[in-house]
Amino acid sequence: MGAIGKDALGGLEADVGVAIVNGGGALEASYMVKPANPTWTGRLPLSEWDQIGTITHVPTIYFYRPAQDWLTPRHTIINTLRDSLSRVLVHFYPLAGRLCWIGRGRLELDCNSMGVRLIEAESKAKLDDLGDFAPSPEFEYLVPSADYRTPIHDIPLLLVQLTRFHCGGISLGLMISHAVVDGQSALHFIIEWANLARGQMLCTVPFLDRRALRAGEPPAAPTRFDHLEFDQPPLLIGQSSTAEEQKKETTVAMLKLNKYQVEKLKKMANEGRATDTGRPYSRYESVAGHIWRCACKARGHKSQQPTGLGVCVDSRNRIKPPLPPGYFGNATFDLIATDKAGELVSNPLGYASSRIREAIEKATDDFVWSEINFLKNQEDLSPFQDIHALTSAEGPFYGNPNLGVTSWLSLPIYGLDFGWGKEIYMGPGAHDSDGGSLILPDREEDGSLMIALCLQMVHMDAFKKFFYEDII
């Protein structure tokens, strides 16, 4: 296949390569999509939350099955995606830029309109070959990858892959830099992109000024809290590092909780709880507590084993004044609930939920600004960044004996329509970090939940047994 060269659509450049995709498919074309119109250029300071935790790319994937009356010609799909992507980047131009290291483990965002990567691929497989769409090694061929061995200023902040299947279905795999956006901001961008693709107007203009979270400002007075959430998470008793645990093979499962099982867990969590002690434990607190207890059992923890559970909290409406609507950046941060495995397992579910509630309730206005100031006072942010754990045992690791339980329950993750109907499945892409889990609403929106969970392979069967044994 020859080079495509300059595309007729404004703001687009193309280059072509060949790769095997899912058992014999070919990469047809790879485009660098730039904003359709000139945008502001310059260095944009990042907030402290942009620069810690996950600063690598986060994968998600959407699958679409064509209806018999699908009116969108297959060859126009890539043109629709490219054109609308170029136009939406005018509003979300930070995504077309590049990250730059500025020393002391800190980053800035160079808004230089270098563009985002859009890949067009063909697969010989059928959608039905993917079964229930549970995250699997097959997804590696459907979601583009970022090579972190290259300088960070050469890596696009957004990579998108359109894959056409033999049956006529398509998938849209996205990799978006977590150093630029959190889940809510990422979905804001994706939804607006789909709106433009369907010929609609932008619904909410993104708020791009990260000074709302004191980005680029110097540290203030000493912090008011200890911020133990930045301490290294517990290690397995008898180990001095996470190196051995990081070597162990992992596997992923998608576990469903029907509406009855969700309600049963909430009832179990709130059993015996006095009515005057505030609102009942939520779905998240109940289900996350259940996951935590089951992981302790499945991993065979000793009674005195310390264990931590990472909770992701959104600050948008927790600070005063709240962040402006459409704030585009990272406004979420992690808090850690900790206890001993024996306490979690021997007490009723409500005990684990109470430990999670205590962690979440720390997230007051004062705490949020104190944490930001704590990070501003750090000599180097490198120890708090996941990118360093990719090539060494350094950086945060929340696998055995710990785990993270992230909620997508309040995010608008379903119903993404670019003009050819809504997806038949949406979920995380490759999800291979021990202890990582997501709670998602079921696509049927009938009160059921889906749990995407990664554990070491030797523990997964036991986890499934404990997960369902009391709620069937």
Q: Does a structural domain hold residue 1?
A: no
Range of lowest pLDDT (67-81, 111-125, 154-168, 392-406) = 67-81
Instruction: Characterize 51-67 residue by residue with b for buried, 16 or more Cβ atoms within 10 angstroms of its Cβ, and e for exposed.
Output: bbbbbbbbbbbbbbbbe
Please say if the pLDDT value at position 74 is more than 90: no
Shared domain for 53 and 134, answered yes or no, is: yes
Asked if residue 321 belongs to a domain, the reply is yes
In this structure, the answer to whether residues 82 and 54 fall within a common structural domain is yes
Residue 276: band (very low, low, confident or very high) from pLDDT cuts 50, 70, 90: low
Residues 34 and 170 in one domain: yes
- Which pLDDT score is estimated for 17? 31
**Is residue 172 scored above 90 in pLDDT?**
yes
Mean pLDDT of 325-350: 97
Given a cut of 80, is residue 471 above it in pLDDT? yes
Closest CA to 339 of 325, 323, 326, 356: 356
Q: Which of 110, 129, 417, 432 is catalytic?
A: 417
Q: Which of 180, 213, 246 marks a domain boundary?
A: 213
Nearest to 120 by CA among 85, 155, 71: 85
Pairwise CA distance, residues 102 & 432, whole Å? 30
- Residue 197 and residue 320 in one domain: no
Q: Is the pLDDT of residue 237 over 90?
A: yes
**Residue after which a domain boundary falls, among 146, 180, 213:** 213
Q: Are residues 266 and 190 in the same domain?
A: no
pLDDT digits (tens, 9 = 90+) for 427-469: 888 667 899 999 999 988 789 999 999 999 999 999 999 999 9
Q: Which residue has the higher pLDDT, 351 or 74?
A: 351
The pLDDT value given to residue 455: 96
Say if CB 336 and CB 308 are below 8 A apart: yes
397 is written with which tokens? 């690791």
Instruction: Note whether 454 and 379 are same-domain residues.
Output: yes
pLDDT band (50, 70, 90) for residue 224: confident
225 part of a folded domain: no
Q: What is the pLDDT of residue 25?
A: 54
Domain membership of residue 62 as a residue range: 12-213
Please confirm, yes or no, whether 301 is among the known catalytic residues: no
Question: Domain check: are 248 and 174 in the same one?
Answer: no
Considering the domain architecture, whether residues 188 and 284 belong to the same structural domain is answered as no
Q: In this structure, is residue 228 part of a structural domain?
A: no
Looking at residue 119, its amino acid is I
Degrees to nearest 5, angle at CA 57 with 291 and 118: 130
Query: Domain for residue 223, yes or no?
Result: no
| Residue 23 phi, psi (nearest 5) | 80, 40
- Asked whether residue 90 is assigned to any structural domain, the reply reads yes
In the sheet with 42-45, reading across from the earlier edge strand, the strands are 42-45, 106-111, 98-103
pLDDT exceeds 90 at position 20? no
Do both 352 and 380 map to the same domain?
Answer: yes
Mean pLDDT is lowest, of 134-143, 166-175, 380-389, 439-448, for 134-143
The partner residues of 257 in beta bridges, in order of sequence, read 449
Please tell me whether residues 271 and 409 are part of one structural domain: yes
Convert the pLDDT of each residue in 343-390 to its tens digit.
999 999 999 999 999 999 999 999 999 999 999 999 999 999 988 665
For residue 14, pLDDT over 70 is answered with: no
- Indicate which residue of 178, 188, 301, 431 is catalytic: 178
In a domain, 273, yes or no: yes
Average pLDDT, integer, range 293-310: 98
Number of domains in the chain: 2
Residue 312 located in a structural domain: yes
C-alpha to C-alpha distance for 311 and 125, rounded to whole angstroms: 38
CATH number at residue 73: 3.30.559.10
Examine the domain organization and report whether 45 and 171 are in the same domain: yes
Query: Which of 182, 213, 244 is at the close of a domain?
Result: 213
Active site residue 417: yes
How much is the pLDDT for 389?
61
Q: Are residues 258 and 163 in the same domain?
A: no
